[in-house]
Amino acid sequence: KQEVTQIPAALSVPEGENLVLNCSFTDSAIYNLQWFRQDPGKGLTSLLLIQSSQREQTSGRLNASLDKSSGRSTLYIAASQPGDSATYLCAVPTGANSKLTFGKGITLSVRP
């Protein structure tokens, strides 16, 4: 059974800091990995999707990497801003129908 772990559960950093959020998964036979952002009281927004054949994806100040063999992914946020404060979740598909197994998320607070 696939398990996805995100540690720590919460993180607080000062504005401007570069930071890395970690995600680990137990079954390396994955098609892809997604990083999502969730704001309080809102649904999830997909930030980046990395296919299993890729090693990283970039979008603006965000960079996600994937190492299937070690069962790890990282989300790098450059020059963090207070608006980046949210919960970040990673997820991997289980089977071919894209049913996702989620980590519990990392709640990020960026202090002005």
Binding residues for other proteins, rule: CB under 8 A, are 31-32, 34, 36, 41-46, 49, 51, 89, 91, 93, 95-105
Report the Cα–Cα distance between both ends of the chain, in Å, rounded. Answer: 41
Instruction: Name which of 73 and 80 has its Cβ closer to other proteins.
Output: 73
Instruction: Name which of 31 and 109 has its Cβ closer to other proteins.
Output: 31
CB of 79 to other proteins, least distance (A): 25
Instruction: Name which of 37 and 80 has its Cβ closer to other proteins.
Output: 37
DSSP 69-112: TTTEEEEEESS--GGG-EEEEEEEE-STT--EEE---EEEEEE-
